[in-house]
Amino acid sequence: MNDNSIFIDSKKNIVQKIFKKNQSIEIQIWKDKLMNLPLGDHFILPGIIQSNNNRIILQMSLCKQSAYDLFQKKDQYALEKKMIHDIQKALLFLNKNGIVHGDIHFKNILFDNNHFYLIDFGLAKHLDYLQNIYDKQLYELYIWSKEDIFRLITLVVFRKNQRLCIKNNNYKNIRKKWVDWFTKHSQDWIFMKQHLYKSFDFSNKIDFSYCLGYFFSKILTTSKRLSPKNGIYQYDILTKLFLERLFLYTSVFFPEIIGLDLSKKKQNLYIRVIQNISIQNDNKNNKNNLYQS
């Protein structure tokens, strides 16, 4: 639900996001969390104004354009690389401070002065503002899996190939393609499993590691059930995360499976980004030695 409106004053170079209600999550996150953190240059720091008609206003400086507009006009490898760099840094910072952004898309990324900024905390989550147990489980899994960051990478990888994305959780066709490919290329499947495993931090998460093992044992079969137990909300979300991550990884490492047109240069960039995130997890996983394959 949209409980805000945007007012742009290009003469004064300011933008006002006007909230009708005081208890908006975006205001709370800014006031109680973000403003107390060393934000550096990751974000546009707003001022908070209480207007006399009971509205509350986030006021910030105007950015030249959104990443959405920018990439409509320019399609440069260097810009894409810079965006991944800047926004990944912002998201890692949020993740470390227990904040899920939850609404990563190109209209929520702005570009000015050769720098990309992340805006719009309207769907953000923090432990202090969760509604119920399901919200809490979702939040914990999103923080644990670095969901925001992988969503950013997925967005970039499929920027010009939206039609290849999986819609409505419909993984039926892609599973058939995975079966075809990986039965012919069994080494690729071993490689994929290792990489996917490394993309999560399983230290102190033995049951999650077990879920991934179960997922691997079923994904190339016709089994409808990919999680070890039916009806457990946390395992259902986890399975969806595994599916999305496998889809991203297979698309980046083996773009030919879905006919994704990636230049070698871009493919190498995405692989480097993915691997950088995995390195820390890999160290932790090895230390705990949970997975023998």
Ligand X SMILES: Nc1ncnc2c1ncn2[C@@H]1O[C@H](COP(=O)(O)OP(=O)(O)O)[C@@H](O)[C@H]1O
* Interface pattern 180-219 for ligand X (x via CB under 6 A): ----------------------------------------
Q: Is 120 in the site for ligand X (CB under 6 A)?
A: yes
Q: Crossing angle for the helix pair 172-184 and 186-198, nearest 10 degrees? A: 120
Nearest distance, CB of residue 107 and Mg ion, angstroms: 6
Q: Is 6 in the site for ligand X (CB under 6 A)?
A: yes
Q: Which does 44 bind (CB under 5 to 8 A by kind): ligand X, Mg ion, none?
A: ligand X
Compute the distance between CA of residue 265 and CA of residue 166 in angstroms, rounded to an integer: 24
Q: Which does 209 bind (CB under 5 to 8 A by kind): Mg ion, ligand X, none?
A: none
**Segment interacting with ligand X (CB under 6 A) among 105-113, 148-156, 159-167, 270-278:** 105-113
**Other beta carbons within 10 Å of 82:** 15
**Residue 270: φ, ψ to 5°:** -65, -40
Q: Crossing angle for the helix pair 172-184 and 233-253, nearest 10 degrees? A: 50
Q: Is 24 in the site for Mg ion (CB under 5 A)?
A: no
Compute the distance between CA of residue 196 and CA of residue 176 in angstroms, rounded to an integer: 19
Query: How distant, in Å, are the alpha carbons of 9, 14, 45, 67 from that of 6?
Result: 10, 11, 16, 18
Among 44, 143, 156, 237, binds ligand X (CB under 6 A): 44
Q: How many residues bind ligand X (CB under 6 A)?
A: 16
Q: Is 66 in the site for Mg ion (CB under 5 A)?
A: no
Q: Which does 60 bind (CB under 5 to 8 A by kind): Mg ion, ligand X, none?
A: ligand X
Q: Is 105 in the site for ligand X (CB under 6 A)?
A: no
* Whether 24 contacts 4, CB under 8 Å: yes
Q: What residue ranges in the chain does DSSP mark as E strands?
A: 4-9, 14-19, 47-50, 56-61, 65-66, 99-100, 109-112, 115-118, 125-126
Pick 108 or 285: Cβ nearer Mg ion:
108
The residues, any chain, with a CB within 8 Å of residue 221's CB and separated by 6 or more, are none
Q: Which spans of this chain sit near Mg ion (rule: CB under 5 A)?
A: 108, 120
Q: Which spans of this chain sit near ligand X (rule: CB under 6 A)?
A: 2, 4, 6, 15, 17, 44, 60, 62-63, 66, 107-108, 110, 119-120, 122
